Amino acid sequence: MSIRLTNISKKFGQFQALSPLNLDIQEGEMIGLLGPSGSGKTTLLRIIAGLEGADSGQIQFGNRDVTQVHVRERRVGFVFQNYALFRHMTVADNVAFGLEVMPKKQRPSAAEIHKRVTQLLETVQLGHLAQRYPEQLSGGQKQRIALARALATQPEVLLLDEPFGALDAKVRKELRRWLRSLHDELKFTSVFVTHDQDEALELSDRVVVMSNGHIEQINTPAELYSHPNSRFVFDFLGNVNVFEASWQQKRWENGQAFLTPPEQQTLQQDGVLYVRSHELALSNKPNSQANLPFNIVAMTPIGAEVRLELAPHGWHSEELWEAKFTHHNLQELGLQKGSVVYATPRTAYFFGAQGESSPTRLSWPFLTPGSLAFDI
């Protein structure tokens, strides 16, 4: 079932929770609503569900205008963060609930309900827990049951509000993969809310990035990562290093540090350069492309990588910079906590001070310490 939102807005009193926004969701797509707390994700999800009315605009499911249609008639499945299972009912009865309360004419027979519940419990791989009560389940199991319950009425749209928010990191990851494969198998259209960028990037076909009640950008995870269209999206997708750049004749400067633009670039103005932590090379001396001196203040192994925290040396940055390397790379470089190093970006994104919101992507030839043809 495709979903089309046209001109949807919502105010709570004087507060504009959603500015008029448009969103087209394809049939069978999995859409992640990502944004900081208060950006309007849950409000938008509740409006799609029919749990909240919009102040303006139209909602279509396929060709059907559902703007005025009651939540019960919209045929959506809903999963909340806090499971919302009925405590006094067994797992099987919880899953059967949506079917049992159907109007008599539409309700399947008792035998059909039993069959469907059994199948759903198999799908969520919890058939053996059918006679347990919610309090006898782990958080991850409860959330799978909540999903089975939401799917029992065979909705064409599944809406999930921070479905894995209350679970620990490992269970979250398992359930994410599991939800994605269930989605691919059953082919319903899903919209889920999250403030976890990894979750949004891993699960979604497209991510809708929200801030202050409007949509900042909609794109596939890969495109969002390679072409963030605003500083907000860049910041929100995490871990960027910021170089406040003042244009001085042929290069960007900040204190004693400088960066020379790639040859073909003609961005001769002040601005801000954003550099991702894994797009930095380090060396024990500067070169003609970059003179970005740092003190290494911390080296933290995180799984297969080591994260370096770098304090600018002789220039200013609001925050420490971060660089990521494999253990092997780092050994080759022979770096120690406390040493001074020079960073050279491979790629950076330039936001001009003149206010244009989309950045220019800058790409330099990759310089390794041994191949610095133009060391200074």
Specify the pairing of strand 56-61 against strand 64-65: antiparallel
Q: Determine contact, residues 323/312, Cβ cutoff 8 Å.
A: no
**What Å distances lie between residue 245 and 165, 304, 323, CA to CA?**
39, 33, 19
Which lies closer to ligand ATP via its Cβ, residue 212 or residue 229? 212
Is-contact 287 375, C-beta < 8 A? yes
CB of 89 to ligand ATP, least distance (A): 28
Nearer Cβ to ligand ATP (43/317): 43
CB of 20 to ligand ATP, least distance (A): 15
Q: How far apart are CA 4 and CA 365, in angstroms?
A: 44
What backbone torsions phi and psi does residue 52 show, to the nearest 5 degrees?
-140, 140
Where along the sequence are the contacts to ligand ATP (CB under 6 A)? 12, 15, 17, 35, 37-43, 193, 195
Q: Which is nearer to ligand ATP, 236 or 325 (CB)?
A: 236
C-alpha angle with apex 153: 75 to 144, nearest 5 degrees?
Answer: 110
Considering only CA atoms, give the Rg of the chain. 26
With beta carbons less than 8 A apart as the criterion, state whether 292 and 346 touch. Answer: no
- Closest approach, Cβ 73 to ligand ATP, in A, equals 23
- The least CB distance from residue 12 to ligand ATP, in Å, is 3
Do 133 and 87 touch, CB atoms closer than 8 A? yes
Q: Is the CB of 17 or the CB of 96 nearer to ligand ATP?
A: 17
Which residue lies nearer to ligand ATP by CB, 162 or 253? 162
Question: Which lies closer to ligand ATP via its Cβ, residue 42 or residue 197?
Answer: 42
Whole-number minimum distance, CB 208 to ligand ATP, in Å? Answer: 11
Tell me the closest approach of the beta carbon of residue 16 to ligand ATP, in angstroms.
9
